Structure formats: C-alpha cells, structure tokens
Amino acid sequence: MQISELYTLLLLMLLLFLITSLIRVFIERKKLKREQFQTLTLIKCSKCGYTEEREFQTGDYILKPEKECPKCKAQTRIFKIYDVKVPRK
C-alpha cells in the first residue's frame, strides 16, 4: 500500500466520522426541548412596600422611577428585573 492510498483512506475515515458526528448532533438537538423564559419587572414602593409585577419593557432599568403608588401616593421604582421559565404546552 502506498502512502497516497493510506492518506486517502485516512481522509475518507475522517470524513465518515465527521458526517456521523454531525448527524448525531442534529438528532440530539431535535430531542432537546428548548426552554423559554419570560422577562418580568418588579416595581416596588419603598415607603409602604406595595409591589407590582409586569412584563419587561424596553428601557427598563433598576431604580428607574415609575408611576405613583396607588396606596400611599409615593413614587414607585423598578426594584428587580428577572426571568421566569415558561412552562411548555
């Protein structure tokens, strides 16, 4: 067996390995269920402790002043921004 035949055989084996590996990766990806998350914003009044939760809006940041508190009329602020896992249907 010549060297060029040996290299050709090794190259074919490598290609076969790569193709089978790619097929396995695609099959495993389909099996995995992608987790989905929902980003929420927690608004809190520092005076009376009133809290409200809503969906994240573009421009939200921690300590951003929000609307007036419905209980004590003080100004509320964004207290926390976090993700919640959405259950799959």
Q: Rounded distance, CA 40 to CA 21, Å? A: 39
41 and 28 co-located in one domain: no
Same domain? For 26 and 4 the reply is yes
Distance between CA 20 and CA 27 in Å, rounded?
Answer: 11
What is the chain's pLDDT, residue by residue, as a tens digit (89 residues)?
Answer: 687 888 899 999 999 999 999 999 988 887 766 778 899 999 999 999 899 999 999 999 999 999 999 999 999 999 999 999 888 76
Residues 44 and 80 in one domain: yes
CB 82 within 8 A of CB 37: no
Q: Are residues 73 and 59 in the same domain?
A: yes
47 with 73, same domain? yes
Residues 43 and 82 in one domain: yes
The length of the chain, given as a count of residues: 89
Range of the domain at 81: 36-86
Q: Is 42 in the same domain as 27? A: no
pTM to 2 decimals?
0.59
